[in-house]
């Protein structure tokens, strides 16, 4: 970036902190200025060129688009990869290819850990298998004289948490699918996570050595999920492997290098030092030990590092084999000592000039904690069109859950028909079953809305959704669901009536009372039951009653509400078909 007089060259997107440094203003003042312009952004979030141009104009600068030679002629859509964000301000002439960073996802028991072990043990550069003396959550292997970095943390949760905190998590995803088992629920989930992150995906078709392996059936399943294998004329690389027999490992690594070359993964070793915290812990004898993945620049012993609200001067750096080193370049995983606090996994880190500057940055971050809490904007259907008009959103991300496949398929078909206008509609994940924590986590990281048809949200999922600001909408009629989405896409959605669950109870026994008819003897398992509130009575997955909670008694007394752990008698208006083990859900509409 460079400025000429009052002209200021800016990239397509820029971090708020970097913009503040560029115009030599306090980040706090800049955040306030953004807020007055209707943009809620934190110090570490990015704003687009148009937003930045409006704000800097108020400080007397004229913003002009920065000319970026790298990646000319290529259109970027959706989420910009982390490494591209990191090198946005680097001199394109100094950019050089760096080792790709790989993470492995897939269904449980399909061989993720076995594959990582097979890759590690075939690595010549790492020496003998088992030679790794220190596990730091990541390691490197060598293939044809080139290094590849693997995050040794397979699992959707880790991958998504990193994205939720601003990190891409990986450059390439290897999806492990067992040839004898095929596509399973977690496989679909992994595909949804990779698509949401806009990360290239390679399929490792594992267990091909088993007698009951059926690769063609698995390829057909993948094709149905829009992952058409390359040998079928598609663009998804599918590599047959056997982790236990160590077959196809070299082919898989060669495939990784091919995908990396086609994506031009680069960094500037002499540029700004920045990267991601992989994991961190507090050791009683050594203090804070953090695993860092450098993604631009060269980290050196003695550097002052800021990671979230943790900071410190690095006393020691070790590589993934536990060997002390003086410096490490892009895509290198290292363990460091010297931070004053345990940083959060997935947090971005950067190197600053002095410890005084590090303390000032941390102080600012603590100062803006309240602002950050206010700035966490819930992505809802009501404000979708306003965001589009402001240039903040180009598509609506959805996660769809339904009770049965017979309902899910037509819902997805109808929703896809709607996404053909000014705002695109992107279904990240569609599956049967109740809404769980993984759905909320994916929605939080991808700024998506969760749509449920004839399903419920688990108790933990509801709490997480409220905490993360995820909009969860439950429907029982398909046309109401599609009508809401269509209105949102057209910017016509009226304020919604929000259903708030108060509590749940289990029917233990059923009694007869002359005054009320049949009464349910219940125990409250979660939250509270409130007289006068709405109630649904579930028998298995079927709703057998929906109406008002007409009477509520504790022992012999009429009460207004009953809390978790207490037993009570519940009567329903004009309804007597109550059975033991029925589940009662109490709610209000706001």
What is the pLDDT at residue 160? 55
Choice among 84-88, 213-217, 258-262, 556-560 with the minimum mean pLDDT: 84-88
Tens of pLDDT, residues 464-516: 888 888 888 888 887 778 877 777 676 545 556 678 888 999 999 888 876 66
Domains of the chain are 3-67 (no CATH), 96-267 (3.40.50.300), 275-350 (2.40.30.10), 384-496 (3.40.50.10050), 500-589 (2.40.30.10)
> How long a stretch of residues is the chain?
590
Using the predicted structure, report yes or no on whether residue 76 has a pLDDT greater than 50. Answer: no
What is the pLDDT at residue 75? 36
Mean pLDDT of the chain: 79
What is the spatial distance between Cα 339 and Cα 486, in angstroms, rounded to a whole number?
50
**Cβ(275)–Cβ(293) under 8 Å?**
yes
What is the spatial distance between Cα 192 and Cα 222, in angstroms, rounded to a whole number?
13
What is the spatial distance between Cα 427 and Cα 439, in angstroms, rounded to a whole number?
12
Give the max Cα distance, the chain. Answer: 88
549-575 burial, b if ≥16 CB within 10 A, otherwise e?
A: bbbbbeeeeebebbeeebebbbbbeeb
Using the predicted structure, report yes or no on whether residue 69 has a pLDDT greater than 70. Answer: no
Q: Strand 534-539 vs strand 542-554: parallel, antiparallel, or unpaired?
A: antiparallel
What is the spatial distance between Cα 304 and Cα 297, in angstroms, rounded to a whole number?
14
What is the pLDDT at residue 80? 52
What is the spatial distance between Cα 317 and Cα 337, in angstroms, rounded to a whole number?
7
What is the pLDDT at residue 7? 79
Between 585 and 490, the more confident residue is: 585
What is the pLDDT at residue 131? 36
Using the predicted structure, report yes or no on whether residue 189 has a pLDDT greater than 90. Answer: no
Tens of pLDDT, residues 379-407: 565 555 555 555 455 677 888 888 877 67
Question: Is 127 exposed, middle or buried, given 0-12, 13-18 or 19+ CB atoms closer than 10 A?
Answer: exposed
| H, E, C per residue of 330-376 | CCCEEEEECCCCCCCCCCEEEEECCHHHHHHHHHHHHHCHHHHHHHC
What is the pLDDT at residue 77? 37
Full-prediction pTM beyond 0.75?
A: no
Tens of pLDDT, residues 97-141: 999 998 888 877 787 888 888 888 754 334 433 333 345 678 888
What is the spatial distance between Cα 301 and Cα 397, in angstroms, rounded to a whole number?
43
Tens of pLDDT, residues 149-175: 988 755 555 555 555 444 456 788 899
**For 303-326, what is the mean pLDDT?**
91
Residues ≥6 apart with Cβ < 8 Å to 30: 16, 19, 20, 23, 55
C-alpha distances out from residue 203 to 177, 212, 374, 413, 418, Å: 7, 19, 41, 26, 31
Choice among 27-36, 165-174, 446-455 with the minimum mean pLDDT: 165-174
What is the pLDDT at residue 147? 92
C-alpha distances out from residue 246 to 9, 85, 207, 392, 513, Å: 52, 37, 10, 47, 71
What is the pLDDT at residue 357? 92
Tens of pLDDT, residues 235-256: 899 999 998 888 899 999 999 9
Q: Give one DSSP letter per residue of 443-502, joined into a string.
A: HHHHTEEEEEES--B-HHHHHHHHHHTB-EEEESSHHHHHHHHHHHHTT-PPPPPPEEEE
**For 216-238, what is the mean pLDDT?**
89
What is the spatial distance between Cα 154 and Cα 293, in angstroms, rounded to a whole number?
16
What is the pLDDT at residue 126? 42
**For 363-371, what is the mean pLDDT?**
72
What is the pLDDT at residue 54? 83
Paired with 348 in beta bridges are: 276
What is the pLDDT at residue 558? 84
Q: Strand 327-328 vs strand 287-296: parallel, antiparallel, or unpaired?
A: unpaired
Helical ranges in 136-279 per DSSP H: 156-164, 185-196, 215-224, 249-263
**Cβ(194)–Cβ(175) under 8 Å?**
yes
What is the pLDDT at residue 442? 83
The listed range with the strongest mean pLDDT (142-156, 307-321, 572-586) is 307-321
What is the pLDDT at residue 491? 59
């Amino acid at each position: 970036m460079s400025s000429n007089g009052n002209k200021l060259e800016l990239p397509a997107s820029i971090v708020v902190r970097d913009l503040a440094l560029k115009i030599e203003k306090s980040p706090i003042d800049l955040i306030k200025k953004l807020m007055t312009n209707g943009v809620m952004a934190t110090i570490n979030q990015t704003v687009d060129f148009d937003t930045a141009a409006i704000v800097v104009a108020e400080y007397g600068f004229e913003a002009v688009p920065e000319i970026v030679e790298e990646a000319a002629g290529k259109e970027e859509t959706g989420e910009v990869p982390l490494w591209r964000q990191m090198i946005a301000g680097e001199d394109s002439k100094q950019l050089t290819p760096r080792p790709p960073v790989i993470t492995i996802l897939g269904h449980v028991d399909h061989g993720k850990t076995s594959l990582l072990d097979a890759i590690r043990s075939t690595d010549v550069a790492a020496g003998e298998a088992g030679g790794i003396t220190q596990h730091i959550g990541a390691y490197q292997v060598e293939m044809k004289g080139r290094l590849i970095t693997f995050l040794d943390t397979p699992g959707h949760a880790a991958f998504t948490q990193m994205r939720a905190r601003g990190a891409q998590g990986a450059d390439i995803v290897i999806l492990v699918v067992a040839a004898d088992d095929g596509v399973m629920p977690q496989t679909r989930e992994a595909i949804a996570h990779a698509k949401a992150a806009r990360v290239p995906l390679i399929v490792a078709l594992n267990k091909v050595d088993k007698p009951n392996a059926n690769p063609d059936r698995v390829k057909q399943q993948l094709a149905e999920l829009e992952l058409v294998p390359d040998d079928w004329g598609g663009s998804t690389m599918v590599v047959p492997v056997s982790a236990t027999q160590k077959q196809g490992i070299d082919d898989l690594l060669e495939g990784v290098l091919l995908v990396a070359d086609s994506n031009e993964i680069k960094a500037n070793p002499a540029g700004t030092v920045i990267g991601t915290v992989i994991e961190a812990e507090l050791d009683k004898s050594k203090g804070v030990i953090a695993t860092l993945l450098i993604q631009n620049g060269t980290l050196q012993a003695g550097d002052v590092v800021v990671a979230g609200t943790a900071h410190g001067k690095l006393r020691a750096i070790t590589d993934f084999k536990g060997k002390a080193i003086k410096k490490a370049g892009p895509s290198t995983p290292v363990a460091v000592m010297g931070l004053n606090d345990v940083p959060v996994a997935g947090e971005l880190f950067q190197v600053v000039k002095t410890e005084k500057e590090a303390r000032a940055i941390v102080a600012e971050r603590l100062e803006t904690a309240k602002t950050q809490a206010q700035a966490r904007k819930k992505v809802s259907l009501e404000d979708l069109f306003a965001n589009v008009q402001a240039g903040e959103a180009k598509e609506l991300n959805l996660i769809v859950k339904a009770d049965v496949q017979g309902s899910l398929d037509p819902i997805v078909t109808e929703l896809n028909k709607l996404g053909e206008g000014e705002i695109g509609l992107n279904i990240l994940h569609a599956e049967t079953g109740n809404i769980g924590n993984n759905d909320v986590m994916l929605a939080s990281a991808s700024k998506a809305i969760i749509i449920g048809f004839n399903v419920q949200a688990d108790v933990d999922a509801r709490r997480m959704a409220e905490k993360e600001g995820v909009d969860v909408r439950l429907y029982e009629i398909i046309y109401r669901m599609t009508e809401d989405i269509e209105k949102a896409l057209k910017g016509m959605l009226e304020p919604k009536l929000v259903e708030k669950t108060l509590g749940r109870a289990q029917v233990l026994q059923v009694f007869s009372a002359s005054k009320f008819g049949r009464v349910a003897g219940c125990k409250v398992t979660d939250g509270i039951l409130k007289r006068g509130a709405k109630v649904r009575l579930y028998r298995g997955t079927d709703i057998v009653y929906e109406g008002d909670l007409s009477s509520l008694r504790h022992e012999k007394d009429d009460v207004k509400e009953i809390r978790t752990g207490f037993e009570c008698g519940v009567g329903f208006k004009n309804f007597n078909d109550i059975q033991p083990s029925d589940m009662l859900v109490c709610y209000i509409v706001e």
